[in-house]
Amino acid sequence: MDQGKGARLKREVSRSTKLPAFQLDLGALEVLCERIQALFDASKVYTKIEIPLKGETLKFDTVEEIRQYKDLRGTARNFSLWFSEGDRSVRISCSGIFRSDASVSASGATEAWCAGAIETVNSFLRYHKVWYHWFRTLPFGWFLFGALNLPNIFIWGRIAKLNLAVTTMSLYGWVSAILVLALLYFGRDRLLPPVGVIITEEENIWRRRTPELSLLLALAAVVLTVIGWFVGK
């Protein structure tokens, strides 16, 4: 007796990939939602947009609902999109233990559909990357480890033969570099957010320029350290 007779095999394929840091206004977010919804055959696709806040999470079915919600202002630095219909789904979200990275995942019956869904999202967000997207990929943890062990590197490498001077400036530069690298490593998501949805334009120029100021501070600390090595007191 064929025990498998009449049984229907259901196959589910899942694919996911990381996304570069990006930022969208509500118009671009609406276009992205329309392109993802077009991937499904059904006329009605379950859609959910979540924006976590302190102590609460706002949930919307459409971008227009976000426009109508007057209590939400500024730029949302964390959000997720969920689209599903039957056994197929697409999700864009931020997750991570030590840091958050934007990612897109797709589930469906075939690899081709999942790959197509991910490429649809990737190709759209490619034109909405923030300038510091490459900066977030730098191994700040290793940089911080190297900076903390810089005195040992000098001893082991016998760099003292180069007659590099240990001055007050170099000491301040070394400490500054450690502080900046620690800030960029542990506070990367706050200083260089992986995603952003512009709800309303912010007037605070300092908040808008936080990534640029962070990078400038990091470069200044590194330059100060290098100058301190070669300039004697």
Could you give the 3-state DSSP secondary structure of residue 158? coil
Domains of the chain: 13-130 (3.30.310), 135-193+203-230 (no CATH)
d(CA 25, CA 130): 12
pLDDT digits (tens, 9 = 90+) for 51-80: 988 888 999 999 999 999 988 888 888 889
Beta strands 75-76 and 195-198 are: antiparallel
| pLDDT score recorded for residue 97 | 56
CA-nearest of 144, 148, 219 to 186 is 144
Q: In the structure encoding, which two tokens stand for residue 154, read together?
A: 């000098």
| pLDDT score recorded for residue 233 | 47
User: Chain centroid to CA 142: how far?
Assistant: 19
Burial (Cβ within 10 Å: 0-12, 13-18, ≥19) of residue 136: buried
Residue 152 pLDDT class (50, 70, 90 cuts): low
Beta-ladder partners of 17: 104
Residue 105 pLDDT greater than 90, yes or no: yes
pLDDT digits (tens, 9 = 90+) for 29-55: 999 999 999 999 877 899 999 998 888
CA-nearest of 209, 193, 196, 213 to 136 is 193
Residue 4 pLDDT greater than 60, yes or no: no
Q: What is the mean pLDDT of residues 13-27?
A: 91
Q: Name the residue type at position 15.
A: R
pLDDT digits (tens, 9 = 90+) for 112-131: 999 999 999 999 999 999 88
CA-nearest of 68, 58, 75 to 24 is 75
Contact (CB, 8 A) for 192 and 21: yes
Beta strands 88-95 and 101-108 are: antiparallel
Q: Name the residue type at position 172.
A: Y
Task: Please work out, in degrees rounded to the nearest 5, the angle formed at the alpha carbon of residue 209 by the alpha carbons of 207 and 213.
Answer: 115
| pLDDT score recorded for residue 6 | 47
- Mean of all residue pLDDT scores within the chain: 78
d(CA 142, CA 22): 25
Beta strands 46-53 and 13-18 are: unpaired
Q: What are phi and psi for residue 171, nearest 5 degrees?
A: -65, -45
